[in-house]
Amino acid sequence: MTVPVPNYGLDTDRILATDSLPAALRRRLRGQYAVDEFGADPHLMDLSAGLAPLPVTVEHGEYVPQVGPALLVANRGLGFLEPLAVVRAVRVACGRRTRVVGAPEVPVLGDALRKLGAIGYRPDDVAALLRAGNVAAAPLAPTWFRSGPGEPPRALLVATLGFPVLPVAIQPGFPFGRPGRPWRVRFGEPLFPPAGTGADDQLAAAELAAEVQTRVQALLEDRS
Amino acid sequence: MRVLVTGMGGELGTRVAQLLETRPEVDEIAGFDFMPPRRRLRRATFKRIDPRDRDRLIGFVTDFAPHAVAHFGVYEPGSRMGPREAAASTEACTVNALGAAQRAGHLGRIAVRSGLEVYGRGRGHPLVPDEEAPLAPTTPYGRTCLEVESLALGIGRRHDVPVGALRYAVVAGSHIPSPLGRVLRLPAVPVPALADPPFSLLHQDDAARAMVEMLVQGFEGPLNVVGPGASSPWQAVRLGNRIPIPVVGFGWELAAEVAELAGAPIPPHVVELLRHGRCGDGARAVAELDLGSLRPTQEVLVDLYEWATVLRLEPTRRVA
């Protein structure tokens, strides 16, 4: 018996060529699309990506790994469009999908966001996502007036200790910035805890959290 | 090494016995179940015993005096028995078989079948639990699996016998009787109206391989065994060219009643899977037991739907 290729040629991590709309609809009707363990539907993610085009300029996209896990920690203001900006920036930088951390655990909306690649805020789920080799984007605490980076996600950093952490600075464009200006996403160098750090090392995680916050602040202040 | 396989009449028990027959380190294999194996066994001895027939079961196990036990006498509700009968048979089989094996005096290792159901599912439970995740089952079958693990661990601790537990994803395949398989093969399948949660499957051959490796290596502790990737109710139903019937809230009880009338009872752990999904992190089992590549969930699903395919073989030569 011949068995079709698992996941029907759709990579859950890397964006590939997309179907035409009729082909995509046929694929949906036949059930020939991928689903991953965290509830994401990459086919749907690709189909919906064009619905919210957000212009972004990416700086230092080379820091985002081409393969393997990474936790991106970014600043946010209101928090609605920043995740979208990071997703688009990673897509531009290396063609990978990004899993946004922070989907609300409510029916319907939470399920819909998980289909589009988001994941809840449970540290063990985020750790499992990174173990599976994904890129995840977690926000710093919101700063309503964009007064700088908010508090880092310490619980997440404890659970994900050992995976590379990339500080990311986001400067808003339209509609929160000047009209016509694109969103600016700057990636910082990956950070790791000191060699020999054990799992669940609270001190190392706290130091890493402080370092991430400092680096995001520096990236935000760097106007070059 | 003498190996006792409880639940040998089931598809998994029989397959494990067949694989053990090929291992040089295994000298003798014996097993029992309430029904006979469906495949040919060459070296293994089978005795038809109802797990609740305590005296016969204990006598058989004591006479065999196993060095190792592969415990497949964990009966899934809705598979070959109703929920109450399955729970009672599982408890009787676990207590009597493991107790008698230990008292026989040669027991050196135990490997038990368990399931991802021990982690529970839904709000407050991890999406992809690894072996360190809290054990908080949310269905009767999950509680049964946890009880089996606890009973085996209790015997292991008291008598210094290593105990391993294989927490399987839903075991499926072309010919294995499983409630989820029966439901997905119905012409119209209930699916959650407002969600589409992911679930993983495990092929029966991979499940059997994992048990043999755990037993032969004497691995101690729990391991998740999960086919890579996932599916979801809507995707699975469309892949099988079935009609999805969206269901919400109390509609699940009605759907379960209707499905039971159609010959496919939906026990609570399958309802939970359809409503909330079920996945697990199986990386540790692959590494520890050196399992190589497991069949992906999507392949298992295709296998499940192709079970009834009739192949017409043309004769190579006509004799009449």
Q: Find chain B residues with C-beta within 8 A of A128's C-beta.
A: 126-130, 281
Under an 8 A CB cutoff, do A33 and B194 touch?
A: no
Query: Which pLDDT value is given to residue A221?
Result: 86
CA distance A43 to chain B (A): 12
Considering only alpha carbons, which residue of chain B is nearest residue A8? B298
Sign of the alpha-carbon torsion through B246, B248, B251, B257? positive
Phi-psi region of A215 (alpha: psi -120 to 50; beta: other; left: phi over 0): alpha
Query: Which pLDDT value is given to residue B300?
Result: 93
Contact B106, B62 (CB under 8 A): no
Q: Find chain A residues with C-beta within 8 A of B237's C-beta.
A: 31
Q: Which among A37, A108, A122 has the least Cβ separation from residue B279?
A: A37
CA distance A130 to chain B (A): 11
Q: Does A125 touch chain B (CB under 8 A)?
A: yes
Query: Which pLDDT value is given to residue A3?
Result: 43
Q: What is the pTM of this model?
A: 0.90
Looking at CATH, the fold of the domain delimited by B2-171+201-225 is given as Rossmann fold (3.40.50)
Question: What are the strands, taking DSSP E only, across chain B?
Answer: 2-6, 28-33, 45-48, 68-71, 109-115, 163-168, 170-172, 188-192, 201-203, 221-225, 243-247
The pairing of strands A165-171 and A183-187 is: antiparallel
CA distance A9 to chain B (A): 12
Q: Smallest Cα–Cα separation from B193: which of B122, B254, B123, B245?
A: B245
Q: Does A206 touch chain B (CB under 8 A)?
A: no
Q: Does A33 touch chain B (CB under 8 A)?
A: yes
How far, CA to CA in Å, does A128 sit from each of A122, B126, B170? Answer: 10, 9, 20
Residue A57 φ/ψ, nearest 5 degrees: -110, 135
CA distance linking residue B247 with residue B92, whole number of Å: 36
Per-residue pLDDT tens for B200-214? 999 999 999 999 999
Domain edges within chain B = 2-171+201-225
Query: Which pLDDT value is given to residue B298?
Result: 92
Query: Which pLDDT value is given to residue B274?
Result: 96
Residue B47 φ/ψ, nearest 5 degrees: -125, 130
**Helix, strand, or coil (residue A86):** helix
CA distance linking residue B258 with residue A158, whole number of Å: 48
Under an 8 A CB cutoff, do A132 and B128 touch?
A: yes
Query: Which pLDDT value is given to residue A224?
Result: 63
pLDDT at B235 over 60: yes
Q: Find chain B residues with C-beta within 8 A of A132's C-beta.
A: 128, 281
Query: Which pLDDT value is given to residue A1?
Result: 41
Q: Which among B126, B198, B309 has the least Cβ separation from residue A35?
A: B198
Number of neighbouring beta carbons within 10 Å of residue A14 = 13
Under an 8 A CB cutoff, do B299 and A33 touch?
A: no
The pairing of strands B28-33 and B45-48 is: parallel
Return mean pLDDT, chain B: 92
Buried b (16+ CB within 10 A) or exposed e, B247-280: beeeebeebbeebeeeebbbbbbbbbbbbbbbbb
Per-residue pLDDT tens for B34-57? 999 988 999 999 999 999 999 999
Contact B121, B199 (CB under 8 A): no
Query: Which pLDDT value is given to residue A2?
Result: 41
Query: Which pLDDT value is given to residue A188?
Result: 94
β-strand partners of A14: A96
pLDDT at B90 over 50: yes
Q: Which among A7, A41, A115 has the least Cβ separation from residue B229?
A: A7
- The residue among A1, A10, A36, A37 with the most chain B CBs within 10 A of its CB, best to mutate, is A37
Query: Which pLDDT value is given to residue A8?
Result: 73
Query: Which pLDDT value is given to residue A146?
Result: 62
Contact B269, B139 (CB under 8 A): yes
Query: Which pLDDT value is given to residue B308?
Result: 58
Residue with the larger pLDDT of the pair A27 and B198: B198
> Looking at this predicted complex, what is its ipTM?
0.86
Instruction: Write out residues 11-30 of A within 8 Å (CB-CB) of B.
Output: 28-30
What is the average per-residue pLDDT within B117-132? 92
CA distance B215 to chain A (A): 27
Task: From first to last of the 224 residues of chain A, give the pLDDT tens digit.
Answer: 444 445 676 777 777 766 788 888 898 899 988 899 999 998 888 888 777 778 899 999 999 999 999 999 998 876 678 889 999 999 999 989 999 998 888 888 999 999 999 999 899 999 999 999 999 999 887 776 666 677 788 888 888 888 999 999 998 887 776 777 888 999 999 999 888 887 778 899 899 999 999 999 999 888 66
Contact B122, B82 (CB under 8 A): no
CA distance A110 to chain B (A): 9
Give the DSSP per-residue string, B2-24. Answer: EEEEETTTSHHHHHHHHHHHT-T
